[in-house]
Amino acid sequence: MSGIGAAARDQGVAADKYASMAAATALTAILFPGQGSQTPEMAAVTADQLPDLLERVRTELGDDPFARIGDGTAFAQPAIFCASLAYWERAGNPAGQMCAGHSLGELAALVAGGALDAEEGLRLAIVRGRLMEEAAAERPGGMLAVLGGEDAAVRALAERFDLAVANENAPGQVVLSGELEPLGEARRQLRADRVKAIRLPVAGAFHSPLMVDAAKRFRAALEQVEFSPPQTPVFSSTAAAPFDEPRDRLAAALTQPVRWPATLRAMHEAGADSFLETGPGDVLTGLNRRTLPEVECRSLADEPEAVHA
């Protein structure tokens, strides 16, 4: 059997294993957000909850990433990683019975799931942000959020303008990624079709083939990191299934689309009947409610008391 076939088989076995839990108990899923979820309060929460990790990231970067979060991905990603774990700490380190992260949030999810040391996760967040920023400088691009368009029509438009579907965030919300000129042409076409399209404040074409060099370099960096078998199932937001090979999945995520609705549904099918966003803001909570309106979805960012799920 090929490596790809074996991986697909193993994912199917793992998904079936976790799905069988549903018959016995109700499960809670812990979710970590990605880039773009920053809030004004998250620096103070990180300083209060994880001062050692904050000092570590300042030392590694030679600057305070929270003070420079608007200066680019190289600062934004480690800042959000640290803040996500700080909110998780403030909530009482709720374990849940499974967890996942949206894009960058996968690193925090792997820490929460017991598969990755927090300091190693921070190092990966720093490397990931730097490599993606370097790739954006080498091959400029951008991202476009399409709100309210029909899925098939948006995908046809992406193909027409040679753009990648970067994020499937929720029903009626897709993000396209690619070079700037075709991205602008696609935006004009969407507006002509009376579909809302918003340029995202990022400097690169993330989750697209323009990140292929960054993905290769990140894969090399991942070889230097030790991963443990997760104590809690951690779902990949690109595979929409439990992580099989974290190094391969994390590297491939730089060029592959985030399949958030599919990930939520896979976790729901595995028994999750409560989704708790543990990180700055409530971006995921809104997406989750649109995807699974019948399921409890809430953010712990506004719940300072410890919550043990």
Enumerate the active-site residues: 103, 207
* Residue 100: closest CA among 275, 218, 231: 275
DSSP per-residue letters across 223-261 = TTS-----SS-EEETTTTEE-SSHHHHHHHTTTSPEEHH
297 pairs with which residues across the strands? 275
* Residue 253: closest CA among 158, 162, 132: 132
Quick check: helix, strand or coil at residue 37?
A: coil
Cβ density class 271-292: b for 16+ within 10 Å, e for less: bbbbbbbbbbbbbbbbbbbebb
Q: Are 122 and 180 in contact (CB under 8 A)?
A: no
Structure tokens that stand for 269 in this block: 């099918």
Structure tokens that stand for 165 in this block: 């579907």
Cβ density class 161-172: b for 16+ within 10 Å, e for less: bebbbbbbbbee
Strand order in the sheet with 241-242: 241-242, 234-236, 98-101, 27-32, 272-277, 296-299
Write the CB contacts of 218 (distance below 8 Å, at least 6 apart in sequence): 127, 128, 131, 250, 251, 254
Helices (H) then strands (E): counts for the chain: 12, 11
